[in-house]
Amino acid sequence: MNFKNNSMIGFDSPSEFYDFYTSLGIMHEWKIVTGKMNDRGNRIENRGYTQRLRHLFKEKNLFRRMVSIAEIVSFLDEYHLLKRILHQLKKELNPDQYTSLKIFLEYKIPYSKNRRVDIIFQVDQKLLLFEFRLSSTFPNQSAMWQKKELELVIYKELMMNYLPQEYKIFLYAFIGMPEYDLGKKIEKHIMYNETNIDFFVDYLITYLFEDPRRPQEFNLLKD
């Protein structure tokens, strides 16, 4: 199946994503910072990359409304995170594995009343649905995890209605944290995000490339 048709944009390899990100023309390295999404968005309202993302969203004619400035900020946070994930994956995978990874952004699920998956990672007939959310407080005991995980379960069920039976679907909710406040690093948040990135990379490799990482995670499955 071609998931590009129902995505805001799709990439046949990580290098295509990097080319797209470079083409946005973000002059300084994007930072995930504190503050309300709308307030952060107001500072980039007139930037060229903001207009480019608005155009991409509208161009596909998949969605019934204009994309909000808060969503644009969320996209950019997500892309910054995705760059770091891909950087780590490149170190962990062999070149053939790495280039086989396909990526789809803002995939609209047919007959779902405009529900969208933030990112789909694809390797052959294995899909990993990835949802991103930013939390200003440590989210370990937050309802945010449960909400995102429930959304993903619903997305999986909806997609199973039309995907061929041979497709496998895996799910991952990533709750990130702002890494800068008033220009200063928040070291514990950066460490939290990096730990999450490492865990997710192991998760993706385990399920999409069938190369189990963290064997201790499977100890409970042993007799």
* Domain assignment present for 220: no
**77 is in which domain, residue-wise?**
11-206
Mean pLDDT across 26-32: 90
* Domain assignment present for 107: yes
Give the CA count within 13 Å in the CB-facing half-sphere of 164. 7
Dist. CA 190–CA 177, nearest whole Å: 8
Tens of pLDDT along 143-193?
888 899 999 999 999 999 999 999 999 999 999 999 999 999 999 999 999
Dist. CA 158–CA 32, nearest whole Å: 32
pTM confidence score: 0.94
* Domain assignment present for 223: no
Our count of domains for the chain comes to 1
* Domain assignment present for 99: yes
Distances in Å between the Cα of 37 and the Cα atoms of 134, 174, 178, 204, 216 are 10, 18, 11, 28, 38
Dist. CA 40–CA 82, nearest whole Å: 20
Dist. CA 133–CA 75, nearest whole Å: 10
* Domain assignment present for 6: no
* Domain assignment present for 211: no
* Domain assignment present for 147: yes
* Domain assignment present for 20: yes
Contacts 24+ apart (CB under 8 A), 67-75: 68/41, 69/37, 69/38, 69/41, 69/42, 69/44, 69/45, 70/37, 70/38, 70/41, 72/41, 72/44, 73/37, 73/40, 73/41, 73/44, 74/37, 74/132, 74/134, 75/105, 75/106
Tens of pLDDT along 37-89?
999 999 999 999 999 999 999 988 777 778 999 999 999 999 999 999 999 99
Place of tokens 């995670």: 217
